[in-house]
Structure 1
Amino acid sequence: MRWAVTRRGLRAWATHGFAAFGALALLLQSYQAIWNRSLFPSHSLAVAAATAAGSLLYGLVRARPGRAVTRDLRYPRCRVEIVPGDLFDEQDAHLVVGFTDVFDTDVTDDRIINARSVQGQFLHRVHGGDVAALDTQLSAALDGVPGAVTVRREDKPLGKLSRYPIGTVAVLGNPRRSYFCVAYSTMTPALVAQSSGDELWLSLSRVWAAAHRHGQQGRLAMPVIGAGLARFDALDRQGLIQLILLSFVAASRQRLITTRLSIVVPPQEFDDLDRLELQAYLDSL
């Protein structure tokens, strides 16, 4: 119910409530004008109170945000949605998974990669925890990427040493279910992932390009890239979603990337979003 005390929520509640009150008042006045008597002549105060209460309740129900934030774009024809759920339960979609620029995969003791992160879940739920198998697939996908450099072990005590340009996308899987592994943050010598607005925008643009080339316009599901452990503090989760939406809609104006983009948010975090504001933002794009 937190949405009901936001500025947009209160405005929507008032709009629908006043509309309902006006409609009920018109019906009661019309009855009185036609039949020349009140509908409940001895209970006028009760009728007024019931009308007001019913209008408030109707306004509350009408203003309540939907379980998902959605919009169907007409050009190109594509559905964009923000939904609660588990990213890896989206079995009918290609997935976007965020990585650092060194594509580290080791989740031992959570020192390099946190096992609870989307990347850690990707290792366990898609590759059964087999780090060697995931590293082999990543190496094959990244073979020949221009701009890769090797850092010294003393500059990065743990993990991999090959650093790739921000925005590099390693495409794993197969045409029916691809995984777009995008390097959107830099792994520092202290094993802290850091990113910026410019790097996020570049990385998203590269994801859309890769999805256009390899996704065959199939459904694309992704988490809120930049949230959680990415050390990106310039925007909160709400702002990051708006950045993703803006980037996707702008790219979709040039070419059809997918017929359906799903931004999947864990249920508890989804409930904290201002969905009315996100719906209004999405509708404005």
Structure 2
Amino acid sequence: MIRRLPGAARVSRRTTGAFLRHTATAFGGVAVAGQFAGPLFPRGLPAPGWVTAGSAAVCVLWGAYRARPVPLVRQEFRRPDTTVVVEAGDLFAAPGHLVVGFCDTFDTAPADGRLIHEDSVQAQLLRRRYDGDLDRLDAELSAALAHVVPQSRELRADKPLGKLDRYPLGTVAVLGAPPRLVFATAYSRLGRDLVASSGVEDLWFGLNRLWDAVDRRARTDSVAMPLVGSGLARMDYLDQDSLLRLILMSFVARSREGAICRELRIVLRPADLANVSVPEVRAFLGSMAEGLAGR
């Protein structure tokens, strides 16, 4: 799945190159060690086949360990105790609960890409967490939204595809069961032209409602979320770096009132990496951590 995202091939090549480089270095170290150890075994190594196989296995494991993906940024906060991780990779492989953005109609049917793009996080949710079972996803959404009064209802003539009920921005539908909940949060409005749009105030308000839901259902757990807001109409003037800082600022500001969750992971697509300054994000989180510690 991650290979189909823009830039993923570059990340994959970099990881493979690192694996080969570290494995080769380990083999070189074993070879040098063998030269020094040779005089200690004038009659040859005992069970040379097993020694060779074991050495090869150790070298491969060492290469895999050194080439493993590591967080781009990891910042621990005190008072309250929580950790923020920014990493690149596969959102659906991250541990803990998931955050998935929806529009205010909570549409789920792709409609040949006119409603839901096939590479979007929402489309991946349907494929990877619900095995393509649209009815099951819709049933869970309906149950989660049963207590929420729709804000309005569209006419079929005005909205030819998808669902008609509109829910208030900031509505969060909690799907599934622990330990893998899905926080489906509505932070954008789907226009009658089927284009989703959101503004900074809408996104900030939606994030605050999201933190409230996470606080109620996942305070002691880890929560992973994508870079929400990227690609939405009316948000194009904010690049990925600005969106990331907005999310981080919202989380830290809300955390001043108390711990929201044990760990927040923001998982970036490989394509987003070119537009995110990792050193500046690290410094940004560090400064906020110092500010919280000095309260």
Deviation of 1:128 after TM superposition, in Å, equals 0.8
2:85–2:264 CA contact under 8 A, matched in 1:
yes
Partner residue in 1 for 2:206: 203
Distance 1:249 1:111 in 2: 36
Q: Aligned partner of 2:253: which letter? A: A
Q: Find out whether 1:212 has 2:219 as its counterpart.
A: no
Gaps of 5+ in 1: 1-65
Partner residue in 2 for 1:194: 197
Alignment of 1:176-255 (within 5 A): 176-229=179-232, 232-255=235-258
Alignment of 1:73-222 (within 5 A): 73-90=77-94, 92-222=95-225
What RMSD in Å do the two structures reach over aligned CA positions?
1.4
TM-score, structure 2 length as denominator?
A: 0.72
Structure 1 residues 214 and 67: alpha-carbon distance in aligned structure 2, compared to 1, 3 A threshold: closer
Structure 1 residues 267 and 126: alpha-carbon distance in aligned structure 2, compared to 1, 3 A threshold: same
Deviation of 1:85 after TM superposition, in Å, equals 0.7
2:71–2:86 CA contact under 8 A, matched in 1:
no
1:175–1:216 CA contact under 8 A, matched in 2:
no
Once the two structures are superposed, residues 106-129 of structure 1 have per-residue CA deviations (whole angstroms, 9 ceiling, x without a partner) of 113101111110011111110111
1:221–1:262 CA contact under 8 A, matched in 2:
yes
Distance 1:68 1:219 in 2: 17
Q: Aligned partner of 1:266: which letter? A: R
Once the two structures are superposed, residues 21-56 of structure 1 have per-residue CA deviations (whole angstroms, 9 ceiling, x without a partner) of xxxxxxxxxxxxxxxxxxxxxxxxxxxxxxxxxxxx
Q: Aligned partner of 1:78: which letter? A: T
Once the two structures are superposed, residues 42-80 of structure 1 have per-residue CA deviations (whole angstroms, 9 ceiling, x without a partner) of xxxxxxxxxxxxxxxxxxxxxxxx851121101111111
Secondary structure of 2:258's counterpart equals coil
Deviation of 1:175 after TM superposition, in Å, equals 2.5
Distance 1:274 1:233 in 2: 18
Deviation of 1:271 after TM superposition, in Å, equals 4.5
- From 262, 265, 269, give the equivalent of 1:262: 265
Deviation of 1:231 after TM superposition, in Å, equals 5.1
Gaps of 5+ in 2: 1-69, 289-295
Deviation of 1:247 after TM superposition, in Å, equals 0.3
Q: Aligned partner of 2:102: which letter? A: F
1:169–1:182 CA contact under 8 A, matched in 2:
yes
Secondary structure of 2:181's counterpart equals strand
TM-score, structure 1 length as denominator?
A: 0.74
Q: Aligned partner of 1:259: which letter? A: R
Distance 1:148 1:171 in 2: 19
Distance 2:127 2:110 in 1: 10
Distance 1:164 1:266 in 2: 28
Secondary structure of 2:227's counterpart equals coil
Once the two structures are superposed, residues 225-273 of structure 1 have per-residue CA deviations (whole angstroms, 9 ceiling, x without a partner) of 1013555213111000000000000111101111111000022322442
1:72–1:79 CA contact under 8 A, matched in 2:
yes
Secondary structure of 1:128's counterpart equals coil
Secondary structure of 1:109's counterpart equals coil
Which structure has the greater CA radius of gyration?
Answer: 1
Structure 1 residues 216 and 284: alpha-carbon distance in aligned structure 2, compared to 1, 3 A threshold: closer
Secondary structure of 2:176's counterpart equals strand
**Percent of residue pairs bearing the same amino acid type:** 47
Structure 1 residues 230 and 132: alpha-carbon distance in aligned structure 2, compared to 1, 3 A threshold: farther
Partner residue in 2 for 1:43: none
